[in-house]
Amino acid sequence: MTLNFEERRRLESLDRATLEQVQLQRLNQLLAQILPANEFYARKLGGQSLPLTSLDQLGELPPTTKEGLVIGNASGVVPANRTWPLERYVRYHQTSGTHGRPMPVYDTADDWRWWIDCWQFVLDAAEATTADRAMLAFSFGPFIGFWSAHDALVARGALVIPGGGMNSRARLDLIERTAPTILLCTPTYALHLIEVAEECGFDLAGSSVTRIIVAGEPGGSVSTVRDRIEAAWNARVVDHAGASEVGPWGYADAARRGIHILESEFIAEFVSVETGRPAADGELSHLLLTSLGRPGLPIIRYRTGDLVRPRWSEPGANRFVLLEGGVLGRADQMMIIRGVNIFPSAVEEIVRSFPEVVEYRMTARKRGAMDELLVEVEDRLSAPQRIAEEMYLRLGLKIEVELAPPASLPRFEGKGRRFVDERQRDERRPNGETA
């Protein structure tokens, strides 16, 4: 692929009909390339007439789920949807394990170039240039996002500063010594560095960092989270979305309304949560994605588990579909409390609007047939009732908010795990009784 800046802008400006023709051509090229060598998709797509003549036919193909990939890969060593013999692959990574056990992913050299090319849209949104110095505040384990960001920045010509193998104070010292202009981390870790900087007297707002690229959580598109990070760091937050199984599929909207799906490299489908049919503009939807440039580990009609609101008619030069508010949450984390659908990100937006709250945790439980939610907060004012009142005002629900002792709640370097879901455990108890 390897496009220059002008070519990337041209793709973003395509009208819907032309874009769908590009997608159909790419999809047919992918299918011709992987079949019949890819046994996983040869079985799933057996009997389907190829090439496809319309994108409407994509919806007739069976979806792919993470459970299906795991079941088809009981050994846990080789992904079920791998196309080629293992010797063709040059990269091994694995999923984070946030929603189940870590799953291995492999990429060929061509697949990896595709990852790097997709990342250039993210770097465009951050206005990254060869004059930038980018620090990656990650541990550099097998999670793919760290490595793809690193190599994409190298390809961009930026100076890359790896921040693995050190604690938070050491990373702040590295920022002071190397003067990076871009920081890459999770929203959770950007917030945690604020806390550490306060403890050690480090002036974040006066640092060299002007942009922070975040991913892995909804926080980058949650206004109160984004505002808190930007105020403390005096830097612009740039959201990004991706998945090890799928690729780097989303990047920040210039007007900060959410994230765009990179539709020249991914086909997005939206299934209404309410009706199960193709979603209308702005409707709460399940997101399915098909990657078009990764033949070594193809993914077709993948149920991401993300819930989103697609917008096709937003103003601006970028015509790729916009996800209003970014990724709103996970389908398996949505709670129904007294008949109202609630996402953890909605609670986080309210909690983060109180600057005195240092950290928090949500625990979802079952009480009989109903969901209930407990929110624990480390609050410098020791006044959790005001937070409960704000939740009632904004959500129309009474949610229990409890005070937690200072520094008692977990801190996270990678994806924050502030949502504890005990509902399935509670359902296994007699009569739905809680502990």
Q: Tell me the pLDDT tens digit for each residue of 231-254.
A: 999 999 999 999 999 999 999 999
What pLDDT, on the 0 to 100 scale, is given for residue 76? Answer: 62
Give yes or no: residues 54 and 131 share one domain: yes
- 3-state class (DSSP) for residue 368: coil
Contact 105, 144 (CB under 8 A): yes
What pLDDT, on the 0 to 100 scale, is given for residue 74? Answer: 61
Give yes or no: residues 304 and 379 share one domain: no
As a whole number of angstroms, the distance between CA 377 and CA 225 comes to: 15
Burial (CB count <10 Å: 0-12, 13-18, 19+), residue 322: buried
Give yes or no: residues 306 and 428 share one domain: no
What pLDDT, on the 0 to 100 scale, is given for residue 434? Answer: 38
Q: What is the mean pLDDT of the chain?
A: 90
- Residue 285 or 95, more confident: 285
Share of the chain above pLDDT 90, in %: 70
Q: Which of 297, 330, 363 is the last residue of a domain?
A: 330
Structural domain total, the chain: 2
Residue type, 246: V
What pLDDT, on the 0 to 100 scale, is given for residue 324? Answer: 95
Concatenated DSSP letters of 106-137: EEEHHHHHHHHHHHHHHHHHTT--TT-EEEE-
Contact 149, 201 (CB under 8 A): no
Give yes or no: residues 131 and 39 share one domain: yes
As a whole number of angstroms, the distance between CA 280 and CA 302 comes to: 20
Q: Which of 312, 330, 348 is the last residue of a domain?
A: 330
Give yes or no: residues 161 and 31 share one domain: yes
Residue 127 has pLDDT above 70, yes or no: yes
What pLDDT, on the 0 to 100 scale, is given for residue 78? Answer: 78
Residue type, 207: S
Give yes or no: residues 313 and 354 share one domain: no
As a whole number of angstroms, the distance between CA 355 and CA 406 comes to: 15
What pLDDT, on the 0 to 100 scale, is given for residue 137? Answer: 93
As a whole number of angstroms, the distance between CA 117 and CA 208 comes to: 27
Contact 228, 191 (CB under 8 A): yes
Residue type, 17: A
Give yes or no: residues 390 and 256 share one domain: no
Residue 38 has pLDDT above 90, yes or no: yes
Mutual orientation of helices 344-351 and 384-395 as an angle, nearest 10°? 130
What pLDDT, on the 0 to 100 scale, is given for residue 349? Answer: 87
Residue in this structure with the two tokens 């704000």, named with its chain if needed: 390
Query: pTM for the complete prediction?
Result: 0.85
CATH number at residue 74: 3.40.50.12780
- 3-state class (DSSP) for residue 361: strand
Q: Tell me the pLDDT tens digit for each residue of 338-392.
A: 767 788 888 988 999 999 999 999 998 887 767 788 999 999 999 999 999 999 8
Residue type, 20: E
Asked, as a colleague might, if the bond just before 180 is cis with ω within 30 of 0, I would say no
CATH number at residue 357: 3.30.300.30
What pLDDT, on the 0 to 100 scale, is given for residue 435? Answer: 35
Q: In the numeric block, which tokens belong to residue 134?
A: 């980018």
What pLDDT, on the 0 to 100 scale, is given for residue 329? Answer: 84
Q: Which of 47-56, 277-286, 364-373, 383-392 has the lowest mean pLDDT?
A: 364-373
Q: pLDDT-based confidence at 431, cuts 50/70/90?
A: very low
Give yes or no: residues 118 and 253 share one domain: yes
Contacts of 7 (CB under 8 A, 6+ apart): none
Q: In the numeric block, which tokens belong to residue 216?
A: 């892995």
Give yes or no: residues 35 and 80 share one domain: yes
Q: Across the strands, what pairs with 250?
A: 241, 261
Give yes or no: residues 144 and 205 share one domain: yes
What pLDDT, on the 0 to 100 scale, is given for residue 184? Answer: 96
Residue 98 has pLDDT above 70, yes or no: no
Contact 395, 340 (CB under 8 A): yes
Domain housing 367:
334-432
- Residue 318 or 368, more confident: 318
Give yes or no: residues 204 and 149 share one domain: yes
Contacts of 328 (CB under 8 A, 6+ apart): 218, 284, 306, 307, 308, 309, 343, 345
Q: Which of 330, 358, 373 is the last residue of a domain?
A: 330
Give yes or no: residues 141 and 183 share one domain: yes
Region of 392 (left: φ > 0; alpha: ψ -120 to 50; beta: rest) is alpha
Phi, psi of 14 (to 5 degrees): -65, 140
Residue type, 224: T
Contacts of 365 (CB under 8 A, 6+ apart): 371, 372, 373, 374, 422, 423, 426, 434
Residue 52 has pLDDT above 80, yes or no: yes
Length of the chain: 435
Closest CA to 252 of 187, 331, 164: 187
What pLDDT, on the 0 to 100 scale, is given for residue 374? Answer: 92
Q: pLDDT-based confidence at 107, cuts 50/70/90?
A: very high
What pLDDT, on the 0 to 100 scale, is given for residue 266? Answer: 98
As a whole number of angstroms, the distance between CA 282 and CA 293 comes to: 28
Q: Tell me the pLDDT tens digit for each residue of 208-234.
A: 999 999 988 877 888 888 999 999 999
Concatenated DSSP letters of 36-72: TT-HHHHHHTTT--SS-S-GGGGGGSPPB-HHHHHHT
Mean pLDDT for 69-86 is 80
What pLDDT, on the 0 to 100 scale, is given for residue 133? Answer: 98
What pLDDT, on the 0 to 100 scale, is given for residue 1? Answer: 66
Q: Tell me the pLDDT tens digit for each residue of 129-157.
A: 999 999 999 888 888 988 999 999 999 99
